[in-house]
Amino acid sequence: MSWRIVIGDWESVRDDAQRLRTEVFVIEQGVPIELEWDESDEVSIHAVVYGEDNQPIATGRLLPDGHIGRMAVQKALRGLGIGRFLLTSLLNEAKRLGHTALVLHAQVSAQGFYALHGFQSEGLEFMEAGIAHILMRCDLAS
């Protein structure tokens, strides 16, 4: 498989990121659309992965405070390593920007995926947009 990633501001990737997030979070997972869009999009660094046909297939964002969020991979393409490629790219960007630690709210079903990439669970599960999540943290200094 051959993928490419674009990392940029909200203006540069908005259309593709919105389309993916709507498909995965709003349509597939039933997240209310009013919860999907927030003021953090404007200040975050966004990543969009494109497939061989140059169509967007995954997205995620890195907030200025070191929070990774809105990680989404098209359902039909999960399990192929695209999420790993996306997360690794965001981790590298965070390191380049000088972050020493990252946090995220992982859907409980994705907890194992993030653990494989150095994230450790903290605290109890909680509900966010009607989906069970867990806080996870990754120390980039080690």
* pLDDT, tens digit, 9 for 90 and up, residues 55-82: 999 999 999 999 999 999 999 999 999 9
Which secondary-structure segment (H or E) carries 67?
strand 67-73
User: Is 65 within 8 Å of 113 (Cβ atoms)?
Assistant: no
Mean pLDDT confidence for 31-45: 93
Residues 6+ apart with CB under 8 A from 78: none
Closest CA to 2 of 89, 85, 116: 85
| Mode of pairing for the β-strands spanning 101-107 and 67-73 | parallel
- The architecture (CATH level 2) of 4-139 comes to 3-Layer(aba) Sandwich (3.40)
User: What pLDDT does residue 104 have?
Assistant: 97
Residues 89, 5 contacting (CB under 8 angstroms):
yes
Pull the structure tokens for residue 6: 């674009």
**Predicted local confidence at residue 82, as pLDDT:** 97
Task: Write down the pLDDT at residue 142.
Answer: 61
For residue 35, what pLDDT is reported?
87
The pTM assigned to this predicted structure is: 0.94
Average pLDDT over residues 24-42: 92
User: Where do the structural domains in the chain lie, given as residue ranges?
Assistant: 4-139
Sign of the CA dihedral running 62, 100, 117, 125: negative
Distances (CA, A) of 28 to 82, 95, 103, 129: 18, 32, 24, 13
